[in-house]
Amino acid sequence: MASNLPAREGVENQEPPSAGAWGEWNPTEDSVRPIRGKHRNAKGGGGLARSSTVLGVGIIAAVGAGGIATAQNRPQVPISIPSLPGLSDDDSGKDSRRAEADGRGAKAASGAQSQGQADAGEILRTRILQQAEAQQEAVDVQTRVQAEQAAREAAAAEAKTKREEAEKAAEEARLAAEQQAKEAAEKAAKEAAEAKAEQEQAAKAAAGSYSLPTSSYTITSHYGVAGSMWSSGYHTGLDFAAPTGTPVKAVAAGKIISAGWSGAYGYRIVLQLADGTEVWYCHLSSMSVTSGEVGAGDTIGRVGATGNVTGPHLHLEVRKGGSTVDPLSWLRSKGLTP
């Protein structure tokens, strides 16, 4: 049987002769030196076979249990056990068969070891990939959760901002409406006050712009009284009985358009106002102003008894558009109380 043992110091790397070629073989210390640090038992062949089996099983156990890289990567070393003197052919054959069986067992164990190592590596790789996938999935889930949380927070912040803007706009609109209402009320109150002031001013102006035609008088005949004393059949004016020479005044500012004798009216002055109204002063004893502009309260003549009269008095007529109106009502419309 060929030996594949590497050459070692003091031992030639050669194939030992068969039992028939040897007359007698005495083992020496060098020839039975332990291989790779393993002490061999120089006793019977059965002990050497058992040592080989233990060695193979130990290698398998070491690789299977720890997965040692050195045991995995070292080349397999076939072991050949020479026949020892004193052993029979049957023992030698048994040893050879045992060694061959041990070699096959070692190869099978090595293959099983390699297959187991490959299976263990595949299982480890699968587990690593599974762990990596699980970690990546956890990261993806966490990222998705964080993104959803960020989206919810952003949506909540946007909704809050919009709600605050809407509330602010509503508050501004309310304040603007209140301000507008306040301004409108103030404007209305101001306009009402101005209108009232204007009315009061107009009333004061009207009262100051008009004057009673005479003083110290007594009203003796009203407008519209019927009687044969008047050519028209009724009284067309208002009579202010007063002593002769009592001053006669312009009831308002205007222009004297006529002054002189007028038949039954005696001496008469016609005062035309700005609106075209004519005021006639009749039965005067004298005329102070016969033309031009006069103001309210200016003396334009004096009470007399000229014309068709029964005593000294002022006959006052008010004409609009050529027709007579009630002088008493007209004077009262100007704020005067005869």
Confidence of residue 112 (pLDDT cuts 50, 70, 90): low
pLDDT higher at 300 or 109 = 300
pLDDT higher at 219 or 196 = 219
Q: Which of 59-63, 223-227, 238-242, 265-269 has the lowest mean pLDDT?
A: 59-63
Residue 68 pLDDT > 60, yes or no? no
For the chain, give the percent of residues with pLDDT over 70: 64
In three state form, how does the secondary structure of the chain look? CCCCCCCECCECCCCCCCCCCCCCCCCCCCCCCCECCECCCCCCHHHHHHHHHHHHHHHHHHHHHHCCHHHHHCCCCCCCCCCCCCCCHHHHHHHHHHHHHHHHHHHHHHHHHHHHHHHHHHHHHHHHHHHHHHHHHHHHHHHHHHHHHHHHHHHHHHHHHHHHHHHHHHHHHHHHHHHHHHHHHHHHHHHHHHHHHHHHHHHHHHHHHCCCCCCCCEEEECCCCECCCCCCCECCCEEEECCCCCEEECCCCEEEEEEEECHHHCEEEEEEECCCCEEEEEEEEEECCCCEEECCCCEEEEEECCCCCCCCEEEEEEEECCEEECHHHHHHHCCCCC
Confidence of residue 78 (pLDDT cuts 50, 70, 90): low
Q: Which of 27-36, 63-72, 166-175, 249-258 has the lowest mean pLDDT?
A: 63-72
Confidence of residue 117 (pLDDT cuts 50, 70, 90): confident
Residue 6 pLDDT > 90, yes or no? no
The model scores a pTM over 0.85: no
Please state the rounded mean pLDDT for residues 30-53.
49
